[in-house]
Amino acid sequence: MTDLINQFPVSVVIIIFIVSLVILSKSADKLIDKAVALSLHFGLSKVVVGATILSVGTTLPEVSSSVVAAIGGNGQFGLGNAIGSMITNASLILGIGAVIGIIPVKKELKNTFLLLCGVSAVFIGVSILAGLNSSGGYLPRWSGIGLLVLLPLYLWYTVKKKPETLMEELPEDAEKAEETDNKPVNFIQSLIFMAISSLGVTVGAMLLVATAEIGALRLGIPDTVISSTLVAFGTSVPEVTTTLVAVRYGHGELAIGNVLGANMMNLLLVMGATITLIPGGVNVPSSYYSIQFPILALILILLSIPILSKRVEAINRRKGFLLIGVYAFYLFTNFI
């Protein structure tokens, strides 16, 4: 596939890149919708479905494209996709939501936020201690296995949280859920639909990785920069939609919960799978220690004010513009 795409001019490669993002996102949405419907049909509780299938589903575009790249030996693609998506979610997406409407912060999110900060700090620390030198750092394979071991523990913790914090639904989602509940589930039809959607996810991921790598090579930009910016933005589109709908219906507090959950999945699942699939581990470019990691740390510090402070109870418009500004600076530093 890469050899075929490599024959096309840059303009066609860009078009294929955009189309691959659409195929990947839409196929992932349909796959998760059918998986949720079948799970509820067979008696799984909404709490379990929300904490497992939906949690994994939010990062399906990221994990599928990163796994495809890792199988091909490109671990830095997954690294850029995961870290870039975390930055995009926590700055651009929350920033847009706060500019459009206030995002209230529930103090129940404190533990999840602290867990995210802690795992992120250990993740970066391991990359430094395992082999930081002039060319960058290193993430050994065992660190990826460790992240994957933490994944079921995190999902268990999510299930044990108060059901009301897991199962709040937007009015739009509630209407869809009610319509779905009233429709009989055709088991064979659902399986066929899931198989087609899975094929769409696979093809979309393969096209995305191939076009990103070829485009980066032709433009003279490291593919880790492409994956941490353009690819990360494209695979984060579902979170953009969720945030805009949540704020529009006056449920802005759901937006930050979704972002924190998606970022935990990016770190545990996407990075865990990527590092584990590369036998020799993943090398971390030196630029990550001057751009990606400091920007991520800055964003987490900014979010700690409304989440951990007892006096600040929301992310307002001013903080929203600040978060968008941080994201704009992030893009600028990547492409200068």
Q: What's the mean per-residue pLDDT of the chain?
A: 83
230 pLDDT higher than 90: no
* pLDDT value of position 291: 94
Q: Domain 2-335 class?
A: mainly alpha
Query: Which residues face 133 on adjacent strands?
Result: 136
For the chain, the structural domain boundaries read: 2-335
Q: What tokens were used for 122?
A: 């250990």
Instruction: Report residue 327's pLDDT band, with 50, 70 and 90 as the boundaries.
Output: very high
Q: For residue 31, which of 143, 226, 196, 262 has the smallest C-alpha distance? A: 196
Exposed, middle or buried: residue 43 (CB in 10 Å: 0-12, 13-18, 19+)? exposed
Quickly count: other Cβ atoms within 10 Å of residue 257's Cβ.
18
Q: pLDDT confidence of 82, banded at 50, 70, 90? A: very high
Tokens of 280: 């020799």
- Pick the most confident of 129-143, 156-170, 239-253, 300-314: 129-143
Structure confidence at residue 101 (pLDDT): 83
Instruction: Supply the pLDDT for residue 117.
Output: 95
Specify whether the CB–CB gap between 87 and 327 falls below 8 A.
yes
Greater model confidence, 59 or 40: 59
Tokens of 250: 């006056």
Query: CA-CA distance, 90 to 267, in Å (whole number)?
Result: 13
The percent of residues above 90 in pLDDT, for the chain, comes to 33
Q: Is the pLDDT confidence value at 196 over 50?
A: yes
Q: What is the pTM of this model?
A: 0.84
Q: Which range is least confidently modeled, 24-28, 36-40, 125-129, 180-184?
A: 180-184
Q: Is 317 within 8 Å of 98 (Cβ atoms)?
A: yes
Three-state DSSP state, 281:
coil
Provide φ and ψ at 282, rounded to 5°.
-120, 130
For residue range 132-172, what is the model confidence (pLDDT) as tens digits?
888 899 999 999 999 999 999 988 888 776 544 444 455 55
107-134 burial, b at 16+ Cβ within 10 Å, e below that, comes to: eebeebbebbbebbeebbebbeeebeee
Q: pLDDT grade, residue 298 (50/70/90)?
A: very high
Separation CA 103–CA 105 (nearest Å): 6
The residues, ordered by sequence, that sit 6+ positions from 16 with a Cβ below 8 Å of its Cβ are: 5, 8, 207, 211
pLDDT band at 267 (very low <50, low <70, confident <90, very high): very high
Q: pLDDT at position 59, please?
A: 79
